[in-house]
């Protein structure tokens, strides 16, 4: 975008450049021109006094349901929700209908994202055709078309030989393989964490072993291939142990954590409220503690919403039949503030790093910083604003969000993408 925009007097937090100070940010022609004390007039000015000015937030795990389930979400509605939540880049998962498994599909998602002109829309391609876990999808062509990784999200790749081939193949393009770690021989038809509560509720459980067994197996495969690997939405204390050991061995592994695995436990399923039905399932308090400890230790590389919108009519089915998923994109930042900032696990720079430069590295995009010359993706946050989450105000098409009515702190004021203001509070 042509022209100049000056953001004055904010607390500028740019973890990649170790910046955390009150100063100004100058944007010229859609790029970051300068960060510092800037005395200049004649351009548009945003007064950011009392606000945080950060690199645009990045969510590497969202489901926008297009193509196929446009009544739940579209790339347009999801992108509108994303900028309202401060996200200037998102990564769509490929488990749509049809599945994103060739270059035409990847280009389709990119085109829809560009047409919407809200957030940058990236996509991961499928690892295997139709997510069946048998035949590899056209990973090379998809990488050429700009896919930022591969995953069969919604399912783990069950066959170790197929996974080994996928890792070897992805290593040739230096693109990350992301895994929804879940061994189906352990998870079966489970709908919540297995243990005391699933027994009491009479619901089939998903053992933590389902996640840990696949993660352990994959770590053996990474040792062999040295391919870049990302464990999606890890949820158990055992997974944290595995990640800790793998990182100690300097393996090329990264992982993400969702807001719900930091804020909710299996106990929440007690009323059979399907808004708490999610995959991997909500776990126990010890698991939540282990995840928070892992974040404090720096073992977690990204915070990701796993925004999974669903129709109300579907979520109104009984617990056994309802689909898995929580729609949380629009309150994600405030949820991380509640889970991580308020208890003192992270400070603002630490939180912003997990939402900007670190996830950018996982998907290999040149974003997540306010370095001079970079595309001007900037989020302005009011850290003190308190509000109540109201699903009826969501731009997302779906309302399957268990946080309705929660009192939270930290609101996005403005979202700037490529130098253009794409969202302002009150829009
Ligand atoms: Zn998943
Ligand atoms: Zn997902």
Give catalytic status of residue 69 as yes or no.
no
How far, in Å, is the centroid of ligand 2 from the Cα of 36? 39
How far, in Å, is the centroid of ligand 2 from the Cα of 62? 6
Q: 196: left (phi > 0), else alpha (psi -120 to 50), else beta?
A: alpha
Using CA atoms, how far residue 53 sits from 203, 322, 370, in Å, is 46, 40, 10
How far, in Å, is the centroid of ligand 2 from the Cα of 225? 25
In contact, 54 and 333? CB cutoff 8 Å = no
Q: Report d(CA 327, CA 122) in Å as an integer.
A: 19
Of 69, 306, 377, 382, which one is the catalytic site residue? 306
β-strand 31-36 against 19-28: which pairing, if any? Answer: antiparallel
By the CB criterion, residues less than 5 angstroms from ion ligand 2 are: 153, 306
How far, in Å, is the centroid of ligand 1 from the Cα of 41? 49
Q: What pLDDT does residue 42 have?
A: 74
Q: Report d(CA 64, CA 300) in Å as an integer.
A: 24
Q: Report d(CA 419, CA 202) in Å as an integer.
A: 53
| Ligand of minimum distance to the alpha carbon of 93 | 2
How far, in Å, is the centroid of ligand 2 from the Cα of 326? 10
Buried b (16+ CB within 10 A) or exposed e, 210-226: bbbbbbbbbbebbeebe
The upper half-sphere exposure of residue 389, i.e. CA atoms within 13 Å in the direction of its Cβ, equals 24
How far, in Å, is the centroid of ligand 2 from the Cα of 7? 35
Among candidate residues 222, 293, 298, 241, the one with its CA nearest the CA of residue 262:
293
In contact, 120 and 83? CB cutoff 8 Å = no
How far, in Å, is the centroid of ligand 1 from the Cα of 132? 15
Residue stretches of the chain with pLDDT short of 70: 1-2
In contact, 123 and 130? CB cutoff 8 Å = no
Q: What pLDDT does residue 1 have?
A: 58
How far, in Å, is the centroid of ligand 2 from the Cα of 15? 27
Using CA atoms, how far residue 228 sits from 48, 153, 171, 336, 338, in Å, is 39, 16, 7, 26, 31
Determine the 3-state secondary structure of 207 from DSSP. Answer: coil
The upper half-sphere exposure of residue 405, i.e. CA atoms within 13 Å in the direction of its Cβ, equals 2
| Ligand of minimum distance to the alpha carbon of 155 | 1
How far, in Å, is the centroid of ligand 2 from the Cα of 179? 10
| Ligand of minimum distance to the alpha carbon of 211 | 1
* Burial category of 4 from C-beta neighbours within 10 Å (exposed 0-12, middle 13-18, buried 19 and up): middle
242 pairs with which residues across the strands? none
In contact, 8 and 45? CB cutoff 8 Å = yes
Q: What pLDDT does residue 172 have?
A: 92
Give this prediction's pTM. 0.98
| Ligand of minimum distance to the alpha carbon of 325 | 2
């Amino acid at each position: 975008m042509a022209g100049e925009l000056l953001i004055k007097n904010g607390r500028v937090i740019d973890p990649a450049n170790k910046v955390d100070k009150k100063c100004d940010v100058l944007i010229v022609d859609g790029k970051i021109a300068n960060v510092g004390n800037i005395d200049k007039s004649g351009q548009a000015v945003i007064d950011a006094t009392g606000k945080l000015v950060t690199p645009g937030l990045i969510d590497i795990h969202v489901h926008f349901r297009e193509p196929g389930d446009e009544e739940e979400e579209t790339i347009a509605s999801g992108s509108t929700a994303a900028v309202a939540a401060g996200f200037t880049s998102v990564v769509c998962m490929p488990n749509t209908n049809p599945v994103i498994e060739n270059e035409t599909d990847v280009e389709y998602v990119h085109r829809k994202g560009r047409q919407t002109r809200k957030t940058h829309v990236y996509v991961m391609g499928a690892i295997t055709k139709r997510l069946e876990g048998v035949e590899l999808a056209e990973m090379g062509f998809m990488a050429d078309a700009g896919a930022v990784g591969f995953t069969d999200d919604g399912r783990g790749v069950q066959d170790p030989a197929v996974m080994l081939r996928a890792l070897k193949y992805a290593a040739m393009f230096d693109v990350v393989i992301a895994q929804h770690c879940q061994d189906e021989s352990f998870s079966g038809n489970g709908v919540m964490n297995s243990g005391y509560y699933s027994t009491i509720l009479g619901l089939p459980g998903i053992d933590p072993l389902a996640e840990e067994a696949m993660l352990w197996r994959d770590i053996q495969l990474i040792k062999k291939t040295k391919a870049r690997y990302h464990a999606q939405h890890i949820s158990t204390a055992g997974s944290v142990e595995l990640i800790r050991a793998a990182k100690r061995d300097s393996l090329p592994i990264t992982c993400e954590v969702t807001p719900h695995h930091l804020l909710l436990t299996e106990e929440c399923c007690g009323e059979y409220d399907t808004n708490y039905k999610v995959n991997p399932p909500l776990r126990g308090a010890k698991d939540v503690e282990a995840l928070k400890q892992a974040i404090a230790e720096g073992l977690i590389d990204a915070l990701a919403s796993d925004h999974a919108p669903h129709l109300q009519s579907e979520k109104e089915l009984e617990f056994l039949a309802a689909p898995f998923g929580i729609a949380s994109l629009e309150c994600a930042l405030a949820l991380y503030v509640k889970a991580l900032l308020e208890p003192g696990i992270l400070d603002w720079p630490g939180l912003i790093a997990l939402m900007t430069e670190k996830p950018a590295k996982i998907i290999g995009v040149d974003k997540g910083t306010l370095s001079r010359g970079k595309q001007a993706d900037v989020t302005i946050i009011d850290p003190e604003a308190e509000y109540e989450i109201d699903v009826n105000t969501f731009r997302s098409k779906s309302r399957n969000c268990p946080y309705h009515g929660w009192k939270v702190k930290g609101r996005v004021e403005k979202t700037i993408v490529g130098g253009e203001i794409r969202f302002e509070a009150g829009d």
